[in-house]
Structure 1
Amino acid sequence: MAETNVESLIRSLVIPLLKQPQALSITQSDEGRYHRYIIDADPNDVGRLIGRQGHVAAALRTVVEGAQSQRANSKRVRLLINDHRH
C-alpha cells in the first residue's frame, strides 16, 4: 500500500473551507512519536477551520489520522490549527 502524502491530503481538505486559500500554509515537523502539522490560515478563516465547538477540526483530525499507515513503528499525526488569538 502506498504511503499517503499527508500535507497534500490536509491541503485538499482545508482549501474548500477557506475564503482566502492563498493565505494557507502548512508547516511539518517531527517531534518524538509524532509528525506535527501546523495549519496557518487567514485570521478570518480560522473559525471556519475550527467549526462550532471544534467539530470541523475534529473531523479533519479523524480523516488525516485514518489515512496514516497502521504499522506498529509508524509515527502518529498531530494536526494543529494556529488560532492567532493566543
Structure 2
Amino acid sequence: MKSLVEHIAKALVDEPEEVRVTEQQDGDTICLKLSVHPSDVGKVIGKQGRTAKAMRSLVYAAAVPMQKRVRLDIVD
C-alpha cells in the first residue's frame, strides 16, 4: 500500500526525492500519511481535490482484497 502511494506521488511532483509516505496500523485500519515538498502540495491535491480523491479511490480499491480500511492523509 505504501509503495503504491509513493509511486503515484513521485510521478506527479517536480521533487520526487522529497516524497515521504509513513504507514501506521491501528487494528484493521491502515493510516498512510503522504508528505511532499511544499511547492508540490497543489499538484498532489489537484483542482478541487480531484487528484487526491483519485489517489484515495485507488488505495481503497487496493485494500479491498486485504479486508482492511485505509485512510490517506496529505500532510505538510
- Return the TM-score normalized by structure 1: 0.80
The alignment of Structure 1 onto Structure 2 pairs a total of residues equal to 76
Q: Work out the CA distance in 1 between the residues paired with 2:12 and 2:3.
A: 15
Structure 2 SS opposite 1:81: strand
CA distance in 2, matches of 1:69, 1:50: 23
- For structure 1, the 5+ residue unaligned runs are 1-5
- Normalized per residue, which structure has more strand? 2
**Could you tell me which of 38, 51, 76 is aligned with 2:69?**
76
RMSD: 1.3
Q: Deviations over 1:3-40 (max 9, x none)?
A: xxx01111111111010011111111123441000001
SS of residue matched to 2:64: coil
Tell me which stretches of 4 or more aligned residues in structure 1 moved more than 3 Å.
Answer: none
> Which amino acid in the other structure matches residue 52 of structure 1?
K
Q: In percent, how many aligned pairs have the same letter?
A: 33
Aligned pair 1:23/2:18, yes or no? yes
Q: Which amino acid aligns with 1:80?
A: D
Q: Which runs of 5+ in 2 are unaligned?
A: none
